Structure 1
Amino acid sequence: MKQFPFFIILLFISSCQYFEKQIPSEKELLQKELKSINWKEVDEFPSVVDCEKVNDKKLRQQCFFEVMAQLIQEKLDIDTLSILYPELDTIEVKVTIFPNSSMKFEPQFSKDSVAYDTIKIDSILQARLVDFPKVNPAIKRGVPVKTQLILPIIIKAKEEKK
């Protein structure tokens, strides 16, 4: 029994290492959290009112792409792109959706597109691609974020319309 207090003191001294844990700094925690975030994906894709009722994430994304492509295509159908450039059947349009719900459209041309007047096509796109319905921006961790997507838009020839 006389050795019991000595044993308790020895146990207390040796167990102090279990209580002295280093607390990581704020910067270390921030860096660890930033590395764990997948910056290539968003929690919720941009959406339009027509797609809000879809609950499945993949189906909502597909709905958004289809609605946007259809809206862009409708706005370009009334123009002369198919007459000016009959060999041009598809234009890839980079759509940027900003956190404030504004949008920017940029045509994407391949390296061998010297046959097209890219400035003229860009000006036609900028003139036609206005007055879109409200688009809700993408959400990442509860915060609206900027997203970019490329939509292939099929240019319909005028003789196909009847």
Structure 2
Amino acid sequence: MRKLILLMFLGLFTSCELFTSKEEQTKNRVNEELLAIDWNDVDQYPLFEGCDETAPKQIQRDCFQNQMLRIASDTLDSLSFEVDNELEDTLYIDFEVDEHGFISILEMEEKQSVLNEIADFNEQITERLNNLTVAPALKRGIPVGLRFRLPLVLNTQ
């Protein structure tokens, strides 16, 4: 009788996983792992040459942003526009770094005040900033795409 009670007692504490297949266990673990991943963040930011891939994530992010801002600033400095009226405005440019490291403009805000003064402004900026390349962002060691927004401040004063 004691053996029967002991077996019943042990049976209550035995995991139900003994009765599930290995395939079902693997599927459950994969689903748990996928739910635990923060899909809105990357493990490593895109890196321009000169950025340290072993640096902490925040430093990588800062390096990427600073290099991108420097490139955009150099691009604007290389362009020459003549305007009749003063411009003081901020445009936002949405970029994507794809899984191969190619940077492309997804969308550029169109402000009529800018287009009235410089008709082909968006085309010139797009032409100069498209097709830059960097080391792509990584998520769990896999190259992934990343989108970001860059403010472009125009001031002709």
- 1:152 corresponds to which residue? 151
CA shift at 1:142, angstroms? 1.4
Q: Compute the TM-score of the two structures, normalised by the length of structure 2.
A: 0.75
- Among the aligned pairs, what percent are the same residue? 20
CA-to-partner distance for each residue in 1:26-80, whole Å, 9 max, x for gaps? 5443333222211111111111111126723212211110111111111122224
- 1:3 corresponds to which residue? none
Question: Which one has a bigger Cα radius of gyration?
Answer: 1
2:60 pairs with 1:65: no
Q: Compute the TM-score of the two structures, normalised by the length of structure 1.
A: 0.73
2:14 pairs with 1:19: yes
The code of the aligned residue for 2:39 comes to W
SS in 1 for 2:150: strand
The CA distance in 1 between the partners of 2:16 and 2:27, in whole Å, is: 17
Change (3 A) 1:156 1:138: same
- What 5-or-longer segments of structure 1 have no aligned partner? 1-5
The CA distance in 2 between the partners of 1:84 and 1:98, in whole Å, is: 39
How big is the alpha-carbon RMSD for the aligned residues of Structure 1 and Structure 2? 3.0
- 1:39 corresponds to which residue? 39
- What 5-or-longer segments of structure 2 have no aligned partner? none
Does the 8 Å contact 2:47/2:53 carry over to 1? no
**Counterparts of residues 125-140 of structure 1 (less than 5 Å):** 125-130=125-130, 132=132, 134-140=133-139
Equivalent pairs counted in the alignment come to: 150
SS in 2 for 1:117: helix
SS in 1 for 2:148: strand
Change (3 A) 1:20 1:52: closer
